[in-house]
Amino acid sequence: MSKKAFSVIVSVIVIGLFSSCAKEFNDVYKSNDYVYRYEYAKELYTTGKYSRASLFFGDMVTLFKGTDNAEECLFLYGMSCFKAGDYESAAEIFKKYCQSYPKGRYAEFSRYYVGESLLETVPEPRLDQTPTVQAMKAYQDFLDLYPYSQYKNEAQGKLYKLQDRLVEKEYLNAKLYYNLGTYFGNCTSGGNNYEACIVTAQNALKEYPYTTLREDFATLIMKSKYSLAVHSIKAKQADRFQDAEDECYGFLNEYPESKERALAERYIQKCKRYTQTGEVDD
């Protein structure tokens, strides 16, 4: 038999099987035997056909309301959506389960999977982080309700990673302000971008004092204070150069081995030069 003939035979068989499966699916989907439909849906779920399973479970959630199958059906509906990649629907379904069955068989697992579902919707740090905050709240709610859960360590680890994402977002915001520098103004009327960088970085350090980006924030603050002094009007320069010098000393005390040590020392010399001569060296 030629390869071409063999390929044709295989294609015919595949098409036949597909048509047969599609017919079976449609026949069961239209059936009024809800117990049969439910068992068929669970078989689809077990065999990894999650999108199809979710269609059945979704239809039967209302039909099974008040019955012995209602709780399990709602839970499997959420799991089917999650495994099918429909994370937003999954999060809402798991939330509904937790509201409907707060002491149910799958309550702990569903509460955990609210966080898992929201975690999958988290965007990159440069974008709006509302989904990140929602995911963090979901994990925190889970930990508050189930402090001794077998999923405790996983939930805590993901909570910390999500927090790091928020910190990174703040760092990127602060860095953007610094890079904008004197754009949209020359910093003479309050500081504009350099002051915005300083405030953003300082607030981040207050909110997340143990962040791994602590030195990076401190570097931005030091650089921004020096640049702010350089670009200030004469009346404000003395105070701002003194503030920049103090910031550099504080940076060196906290990070004596920093790769930015030489920069901090150079800034200190320039600040002292201004104090002695009144000349600005940018």
What is the spatial distance between Cα 114 and Cα 136, in angstroms, rounded to a whole number?
10
pLDDT tens for 213-239 read: 999 999 999 999 999 999 888 999 999
The whole-number pLDDT of residue 115 equals 98
The whole-number pLDDT of residue 16 equals 42
The whole-number pLDDT of residue 244 equals 97
What is the spatial distance between Cα 37 and Cα 90, in angstroms, rounded to a whole number?
21
pLDDT tens for 45-77 read: 999 999 999 999 998 998 898 899 999 999 999
CB 189 within 8 A of CB 199: no
**Cβ-based burial of 202 (10 A; exposed 0-12, middle 13-18, buried ≥19):** middle
Question: What is the secondary structure of 51-91 as a DSSP string?
Answer: HHHHHHHHHHHHHTTTSTTHHHHHHHHHHHHHHTT-HHHHH
User: Alpha helix (H) ranges present in 150-256?
Assistant: 152-180, 192-207, 214-230, 234-254
What pTM, to 2 d.p., does this model score?
A: 0.76
Number of H helices, E strands in the chain: 12, 0
User: What is the mean pLDDT of each successive set of 10 residues along the chain, which is 282 residues long?
Assistant: 47 40 54 78 95 92 90 98 98 98 97 98 92 97 97 96 95 95 61 89 95 97 96 92 97 97 97 88 70
CB 232 within 8 A of CB 240: yes
